[in-house]
Amino acid sequence: MSNENEQNGTNEMTAATLTTPTGPGGRILLGVFEMMNPNNGMPTWTHPQGRGDDWDQLDYWVGLAKELDAAGFDFLFFADTYGYATLGGRMPEEVAAHGIQFPALDPMLAIPALARETENIGFVVTSPTTVERPYATARRFGTLDRFTSGRIGWNVVTGSSQATTDELFGVTTQLSHDGKYDAADSFLDTCLRYWEHSWDDDAEVRDRATGVYADPAKLHRVEVSDDHQRSAGIFAVPPTPQRTPVLFQAGTSDRGRAYAARNAEAVFIQGQTIDSAAAHVRDIREQAVRNGRRPEDIAVVTGMTVTVAPTRAEADALRAEYESVLGQDDAAVMFAGITGLDLTGLDPETRVVDLTTDLGQTLIQRYARQNPEMKVGDILDQFRTKAIRGFQITGTPEEVADEIEAIIDGSGIDGIMLEPTFGGPAAYRAFIELVVPILAARGRVAGAPDAAPTLRERFSGAPRLAPTHRAHRLAPKASDDRILTPILNGAHE
Ligand SMILES: Cc1cc2nc3c(=O)[nH]c(=O)nc-3n(C[C@H](O)[C@H](O)[C@H](O)COP(=O)(O)O)c2cc1C
């Protein structure tokens, strides 16, 4: 806080606007990572700054969305899962007793209320490809795109807590890890066919004089029949502002990255170091280019836990208080929910590279990339304080702003997703009051509402999927696809 002008945003540099490009030196996309449960994964619901009493109240989420909207945040992201963590097929005591991502409500149902009470902020909702059906998913997101006037995104996941989710839904066929991503490709293609190809742009006539609502000649029947999906018919939802919701993706196993490079417009990573995040960004973008896309077609956002206070000592004390409420048993339970592996039941000397799973591989691969010799005991220790989180930043407002800029500029990442500490909105409030004005004065964020008609325009400047996206090369009928033909940039084949 050395420069008062910076704090007031009155120095020569002006705040970023939506036309400022993202990336090194540019605008930083600002989001918040939430889950609709008591504490967002950490056993913090009883803390005075927790949200144990509020998390199931719609007003709580409306209030949060309004605060973020007023501060110029680009999006509010909801992770979600139908399942919960299990060990050996049973719900461990900690899950219910400590509220570890349980119980939980369905965030998708809150979105119209949040959108109605806000002006600009976008909303990203997680929905899994393993138990949902493509047509229902396409219709729900189409409806949300209409009701939010184009402020919706979909975090496409094959799913965490898959063991319980499968049980809850009666899924009996078990696909391999990569097989789930193959099925997810087919799932998304089916949705894309409905969103992008079932209605021509001018099919919805709504002509009172002639009494024609929609021109039947401009509607196209979608037909998909492959190893994973069977769906045929005409989409019931007319074209919406974005047609396709902004496509987020989060799994970063090798197969997950390949999926992202093919499909995603935004990739959510949990960056750990600038170097490893930079390598990750490079890898995703190189793979995207091999898929006929431009590097800038994919925005990368990293999770980040920021503990900020006016003085370093206060920030350190707050962080220490936060870490003191985290326990290793809770961490082990959450790890098991994501990976299906009970680390407490393994020899602590087991090497991470020797672990295998058909559930989420992101965490295992993350630790293996860090250090192939890492042991199960070391993972549990690290996971206690970091869990499924990205960069951990603690400091004064100036220190935090400097570190965020260093991360963004050193890695090629486009934005950050703030992770809550004690569960309630206090952490975001401190960030909004202490850090946002500094980043705005440095020209890195808007710092105030900045109107983009759609969420996609915040990311790419255009309301519709980039012309290089493979969705444009799909045809309504799967058999008409020429997916493997060379890409004609910008052309609808
Ligand atoms: C940062 C991050 C966030 C995720 N969020 C969710 C989520 O909200 N819901 C869910 O079901 N799965 C979530 N996942 C799971 C993945 O999207 C993916 O389906 C799963 O991890 C398997 O893929 P992987 O092996 O590539 O990790 C998340 C994964 C990561 C890395």
Q: Which atom of ligand 1 is nearest to the CA of 35?
A: 8
Q: Which atom of ligand 1 is nearest to the CA of 78?
A: 8
Q: Which atom of ligand 1 is nearest to the CA of 388?
A: 1
Q: What is the mean pLDDT of residues 335-350?
A: 84
Contact 423, 40 (CB under 8 A): yes
Label the pairing between strands 222-225 and 230-233: antiparallel
Q: Could you give the 3-state DSSP secondary structure of residue 465?
A: coil
Mutation choice for ligand 1 from 81, 132, 154, 158, CB with most ligand atoms inside 8 A: 158
Mutation choice for ligand 1 from 362, 365, 416, 417, CB with most ligand atoms inside 8 A: 362
Q: Which atom of ligand 1 is nearest to the CA of 303?
A: 1
Q: Which atom of ligand 1 is nearest to the CA of 128?
A: 11
Mutation choice for ligand 1 from 35, 125, 157, 357, CB with most ligand atoms inside 8 A: 157
Provide the token pair at 294.
């431009």
To the nearest 10°, report the CA torsion of 34, 40, 45, 47.
-80
**Residue 280 to residue 258: CA distance in whole angstroms:** 12
Q: Which residue has the tokens 């959510």?
A: 268
pTM: 0.92
- Residue 327 CB partners (closer than 8 Å, separation 6+): 43, 94, 98, 384
What 8-state DSSP symbol labels residue 84? -
pLDDT reading at 184 higher than 90: yes
What is the per-residue pLDDT across 62-108, written as a single tens digit (0 to 9) for each? 999 999 999 999 999 999 999 998 887 889 898 999 888 899 999 99
pLDDT reading at 491 higher than 50: no
Higher pLDDT, 273 or 357: 273
**Residue 360 to residue 416: CA distance in whole angstroms:** 22
Percentage, residues of the chain above pLDDT 90: 70
Contact 71, 432 (CB under 8 A): yes
Q: Which atom of ligand 1 is nearest to the CA of 363?
A: 27
What is the per-residue pLDDT across 255-264, written as a single tens digit (0 to 9) for each? 999 999 999 9
**Fold type of domain 4-325+389-480:** TIM Barrel (3.20.20)
Provide the token pair at 71.
């501060």
Q: What's the 1 CA to ligand 1 centre distance in angstroms? A: 37
Q: Could you give the 3-state DSSP secondary structure of residue 29?
A: strand
pLDDT reading at 489 higher than 70: no
The pLDDT value given to residue 480: 55
What is the per-residue pLDDT across 3-31, written as a single tens digit (0 to 9) for each? 444 444 445 689 999 999 999 999 999 99
Percentage helix, strand, coil for the chain under 3-state DSSP, each rounded to 5: 40, 15, 45
Q: What's the 337 CA to ligand 1 centre distance in angstroms? A: 11
**Residue 470 to residue 456: CA distance in whole angstroms:** 17
CATH 3.20.20.30 segments of the chain: 4-325+389-480
What 8-state DSSP symbol labels residue 375? B
What is the per-residue pLDDT across 396-433, written as a single tens digit (0 to 9) for each? 999 999 999 999 999 999 999 999 999 899 989 999 99
Instruction: Report which of 483, 464, 386, 437 is spatially closest to residue 4, judged by C-alpha positions.
Output: 437
Name every protein residue with a CB atom under 6 angstroms from any ligand 1 atom. Answer: 79-81, 126, 128, 157-160, 177, 250-253, 256, 268, 270, 360-362
If you take atom 7 of ligand 1, which residue's CA is the nearest one?
Answer: 79
**Residue 214 to residue 90: CA distance in whole angstroms:** 52
**Residue 438 to residue 249: CA distance in whole angstroms:** 30
If you take atom 20 of ligand 1, which residue's CA is the nearest one?
Answer: 360
Q: What's the 271 CA to ligand 1 centre distance in angstroms? A: 14
